Structure 1
Amino acid sequence: MTLKSGLMSCAALCAVVMTTPVFAACEKPFLAGDFGYSVCKDWPAYPGLAITALSQFESGPSASDYGPEGKYDLDLAVFSAGESKPLAMYHKASAFESDAIEFEDLQIDTARYQLTPDLRAFGVRATFNGSSRVNPVNEKLLSLYVREGDTLRPVLDKLITYEYGGEWDGTCAGELYQHTRTLEIGKTSSHGYADLIVKTVTTSEVGKGEGDACESSSTTAKPVLTTLRYDGSTYVLPQGFKGY
């Protein structure tokens, strides 16, 4: 759910995070104002640990009926049960931008992202949705983070896991496409981190004619496998795989 938000500095956020004991019970982080997203999720791989994610409106030129158009920051933290002070944190200013394609949702993903025998990542998923009916746009992005001491470090940045778009007349004629990507841990590795195998399935739909004469057809291409390799600091994404 979208909540309207005001400005909040990183220092103020850190103060709230470090002095509010409700985080131990996996409570959502405090959201200043009404625009932004606040989520918390237990980390099943590490019993007793929870992950929080907070993204709130940072700045922008205007506000629409759906929320402010502009930039949103991102704050992540890992907490231990019974403790109010975070074990590890991450902050990024202007992490997301919401405009004609609206920043619509933020979720934490605790799937089995085992990058090394001793290191498991967690994911943050962001959803964006356009408002045009004849030029639809929908994107879902996945980023992965690992814990290094008292910090959280991104190792995969905004992989497009779902993309829907195209152009049509709103009733029949036009062309639409859909890319769906799933992520698996590979058996090979690069710079000590497991390679990631991305399977992309593309569906295309074509419509012709008007009214009762409308004819549409859809085709699904053979899945394409792409290997993402770690270069020592991040997984390198091919052109067209990274969202904004």
Structure 2
Amino acid sequence: MRGLTALPLLFAPMIAWGDCTQNLQNWAQALHPTLELASDFAVCKVNPADTSQVVAALPLKVNVDEYGQGDYSLDVLVADAASGKIIAHHYQEAVIISDAVQFSGLTLDTARYQVAPGLRAFGVRIRHTGSSRVNPFSSETLSLYEHDGSQLRQIMGHLVVSESHGEWDGVCAGEFGEIKRTLAMGEPGKDGFSGLRLTEISTGSQSIAKGADDCQEIEGVTQTKRFSLEYDGGRYGVPKGLRFE
């Protein structure tokens, strides 16, 4: 992984600013001329915390085959909305792995993550989907980024915010489960950063064959758990059991 460094203004405005997606390829070429942008997955949007800026996430193919399997790097950036010039970026090499559990998309999350007074983070959500019909799986993770001047840094990484899984016979009988996690801001802690309050709701169900043609679904008990993620002076630590591996 490369360090967090300020990036000079790499290129003059090439188009009148409108749809920020027009600059996705320009940004990728300027930052990583030897890597191919996974353009189907690249995203950008205006930052509601500062509408003079846009934020973007650029997945880049490192060693990806024709089926989309392999490793993707990720560059997250902040750019000037009027000109498209890059203000700050954060690069992670080969951070997204796509294999039997395939990388299937990402989105920018600009909810109000007010992590400290005067400091609002934004998120990148990454989705993975399993390829097995009888063992269905899907997952979405959330990472948070803080922009401070010429630096952009990741302050929380790869928290699983939703997951669904199952095992069945392909006809009826099987078991299925789902987990949803939501974040809320807690009390200020180290360096003025709020703790993150995490609520987890898990549900399950079971399908049972009843006779030759009937399939009965039985809902399981819903469970709720709560966790707290504390800022340690550099980032929010995500316990192993809550992190995408």
1:18 correspondence with 2:22: no
Contact 1:158 1:242 in 2 (8 A): yes
Q: 1:208 Cα shift?
A: 2.3
Q: 1:222 Cα shift?
A: 3.2
CA 1:241 to 1:192, structure 2 compared with 1: closer, same or farther past 3 Å?
same
Match of 1:27 among 20, 24, 28: 20
CA 1:22 to 1:127, structure 2 compared with 1: closer, same or farther past 3 Å?
farther
1:224 correspondence with 2:217: no
Q: 1:91 Cα shift?
A: 1.1
Match of 1:43 among 44, 47, 50: 47
| Partner residue, 1:238 | 239
1:137-175 C-alpha deviation (Å, 9 max, x unpaired): 100010000013312100110110110112111222121
SS in 2 for 1:170: coil
Matches within 5 A, 1:163-242: 163-209=163-209, 211-242=212-243
1:63 correspondence with 2:66: yes
Contact 1:35 1:57 in 2 (8 A): no
CA 1:45 to 1:215, structure 2 compared with 1: closer, same or farther past 3 Å?
same
| Partner residue, 2:120 | 120
Quick one: distance in 1 between partners of 2:189 and 2:100? Answer: 39
CA 1:75 to 1:33, structure 2 compared with 1: closer, same or farther past 3 Å?
closer
Quick one: distance in 2 between partners of 1:21 and 1:86? Answer: 13
CA 1:16 to 1:49, structure 2 compared with 1: closer, same or farther past 3 Å?
closer
SS in 1 for 2:213: helix
Matches within 5 A, 1:47-196: 47-60=51-64, 62-64=65-67, 67=68, 69-196=69-196
Quick one: distance in 2 between partners of 1:36 and 1:17? Answer: 24
What stretches of structure 2 of length at least 5 have no aligned partner? 1-6, 29-35
| Structure with more strand by fraction | 1
CA RMSD of aligned residues (A): 2.3
CA 1:94 to 1:217, structure 2 compared with 1: closer, same or farther past 3 Å?
same
SS in 2 for 1:172: coil
AA aligned to 1:46 is D
What stretches of structure 1 of length at least 5 have no aligned partner? 1-13
Contact 1:143 1:159 in 2 (8 A): yes
Q: Percent identity between the aligned chains?
A: 33
1:34-87 C-alpha deviation (Å, 9 max, x unpaired): 665211100111121111111021114x432xx2x1000111211123233211
Q: 1:192 Cα shift?
A: 2.5
AA aligned to 1:176 is F
SS in 2 for 1:63: coil
CA 1:33 to 1:51, structure 2 compared with 1: closer, same or farther past 3 Å?
closer
Contact 2:13 2:83 in 1 (8 A): no
